[in-house]
Amino acid sequence: MRSLLLQEKYSLMSKVALPFLILLCLFWSAAVFSKVYMTRDEALKLAFPGADRIEKKTVYLTEEQAKRIESLARTKLESKIYIFYTGEKEGVELGHAVIDTHTLRTMTETIMLVINPDGTLRQVEILAFFEPPDYMSPDPWINKFEDKKLDDSLRIGRDIPNMTGATITSNSMVNSVRRIMAVFQIAVKEDNRVTAEGQD
């Protein structure tokens, strides 16, 4: 009888403890893999070296803009709110930076895109990565985004090769890049042109 009670007690403890242990392992894994490489301020200094002014602009997309952006980017928007940082030096525009966080498998990565005034992509930087480091995009692969425009060549299997063993990471970054460049083209560049044309 005592043996049966002990067996039931251990069984109950196992049922209670197992989910806790699994949760603890998940948190431990996330803590081990979590790495922040740059803060926002450090990233903006890298994006606009020598800038004497960095202006922050929050873009709120309309339904019509969102539809056009998804059609141009050929991927779904994850938000209708984007923050652009515009760097200037002595009144000359240096470019635009956007910080984007997106989900990979179960965790996230945060990247910064720097877009030239003409809409071409200057650079992509990883600011934080919370998946296992084996899945992180290497610098030579990220460098392939430099000077790219938003067209059909900016795709996996064309100008951007797939990363063996990290397909989700590569696809997620390409989709993020295409989304942000489409947002820039439609909601920032075109909006600025319309504003300028409307001035006396």
Verify that 4 and 56 share a domain, yes or no: no
Residues forming a β-bridge with 102: 109
Q: 102-125 burial string, b = 16+ CB within 10 Å, else e?
A: eebeebebbbbbbbeeeeebbbbb
Split into its structural domains, the chain has a count of 2
What is the number of alpha carbons within 13 Å of residue 81 lying toward its C-beta? 1
* Strand pairing category for 108-115 and 92-103: antiparallel
At 121-130, the pLDDT tens digits run: 999 999 999 9
pLDDT at 104 exceeding the cut of 80: yes
Domain extent at residue 133? 35-197
* Confidence (pLDDT) at 193: 46
Verify that 154 and 76 share a domain, yes or no: yes
Verify that 15 and 110 share a domain, yes or no: no
Verify that 173 and 126 share a domain, yes or no: yes
Mean pLDDT for all residues in the chain? 84
Verify that 90 and 102 share a domain, yes or no: yes
Verify that 65 and 49 share a domain, yes or no: yes
Verify that 172 and 115 share a domain, yes or no: yes
At 152-194, the pLDDT tens digits run: 999 999 999 988 878 899 999 999 999 999 999 999 988 654 3
* Confidence (pLDDT) at 25: 43
* Confidence (pLDDT) at 165: 79
% pLDDT > 90, the chain: 70
At 53-100, the pLDDT tens digits run: 999 999 999 999 999 999 999 999 989 999 999 999 999 999 999 999
Verify that 43 and 112 share a domain, yes or no: yes
Task: Please state the pTM of the whole predicted model.
Answer: 0.78
Cβ-based neighbours of 19, under 8 Å, separated by 6 or more: none
* Confidence (pLDDT) at 155: 94
CA distance 127 to 101: 9
pLDDT at 3 exceeding the cut of 60: no
Verify that 24 and 42 share a domain, yes or no: no
Name the strands in the sheet holding 108-115, side by side, starting at the edge strand that comes first in the sequence.
35-36, 121-129, 108-115, 92-103, 81-89, 53-60
Verify that 27 and 40 share a domain, yes or no: no
pLDDT at 24 exceeding the cut of 70: no
* Confidence (pLDDT) at 89: 96
What is the number of alpha carbons within 13 Å of residue 32 lying toward its C-beta? 9
CA distance 70 to 52: 34
Verify that 20 and 87 share a domain, yes or no: no
* Range with lowest mean pLDDT among 13-17, 133-137, 166-170, 179-183: 13-17
* Confidence (pLDDT) at 81: 96
Verify that 63 and 102 share a domain, yes or no: yes
